[in-house]
Amino acid sequence: MITRAALIVTCLIASVPAAAQDAGALMDEGLALRREGRDAEAAERFRAAYAIERSGRALAQLALAEQAAGEWVAAERDLVAAMALSDPWIVEHRGVLESALATIRSHLGRLQVVANVARAAVWIDGREAATLPMAAPISAVAGTVVVEVRADGYVPVQRSATIRAGELSRLSVELVPSRVTSAAPIAIAPATRSAEGATSPGRSSQADASPLLIGGLVTAGVAAVSLAGMIAALVIREGNVQHWNDDARCPPDLPGGRLQTCAAVWSSLRTAEDWAIASGIATGAFTALASVLIGLGATEEIDDTSARLHVGPDVVVIDVRARF
């Protein structure tokens, strides 16, 4: 037993310089790759060396490689962690490292995200960055970033945020449940007696919208879009007409007439006319259909058929119930 224990201790002692030697070799490889401009590969070598010896030098070199590769958030995180270590190499090179940290932070701003759901995940440009609520603002690369907030049972929300270097940006998000349900029962009004003495059921205390009315409103929106398209087409046509009639830009006295120099203008003019006509027809048709649907929906008696419109910041849910 004593011999076996001694053998184990001997093996452990022998493994220490071997590991250190492996870390040193990885550091040398990383530095050689940095000199060749292969910063991403160098970062992998430094990361592996730090996993072996957990030295401030390895972590700082990793941060400098990430800085060279433009990984600003990771570079700041790793360099701050390295400079917090009591490592002789860090102390010796602190001035250089502080200058590098200042350069890194010139590319970063701070972002504070607030949402109505705890434990929601914050993703920035496709990478998970934090979990809500945030204890402190997080670093983000200066410029326009895509922020997404995700939580189980809720519709993900995406926002575009502008991050300014050295400044704090704030973003507030309202998450909506992926399935909109009503926990409270619908209160039914007491039965009312008609003039003839017959009893008729009361209407629901919650306002129910007719499916026809909702369809009419949606159709009216489509008609408005068609009208906007027609107006845009007419504006484009008018611009091309003025261009076509300008003798300076479309000389009529050249062989072939105006079509020789302004064929593209003529083509754009005719296309705009076609779009204006088609949009006008669509506007009229959708307007007429919306009028019919809204008229029918306004006079429809709703008993066993009901529809509700739930509107949230990022979701619109139409809940329709009917008895057949």
For 136, the 3-state DSSP assignment is coil
The architecture of the domain spanning 17-105 is: Alpha Horseshoe (1.25)
- Buried/exposed 118-156: b ≥16 CB within 10 Å, e otherwise: eebebbbeeeebbebeeeeebbbbbeebebbbbbeebbe
pLDDT above 60 (res 139): yes
pLDDT in tens, 30-46: 999 999 999 999 999 99
Token readout for 230 is 């027609």
pLDDT above 50 (res 76): yes
Q: Minimal CA–CA distance to 144: which of 159, 122, 129?
A: 159
State the Cα–Cα distance between residues 218 and 202, nearest whole angstrom: 29
Higher-pLDDT residue of 313, 296? 296
CB 93 within 8 A of CB 79: no
Q: What is the pTM of this model?
A: 0.49
pLDDT in tens, 163-216: 999 999 999 999 999 875 444 444 434 444 444 444 444 444 344 557 877 887
CATH class of residue range 108-173: mainly beta
pLDDT in tens, 101-123: 999 999 999 999 999 999 999 99
CB 20 within 8 A of CB 53: yes
State the Cα–Cα distance between residues 151 and 126, nearest whole angstrom: 15
Q: Say whether 108-173 and 17-105 share the same fold.
A: no
What are the sequence ranges of the domains in the chain? 17-105, 108-173, 202-321
Sign of CA dihedral 3, 8, 12, 14: positive
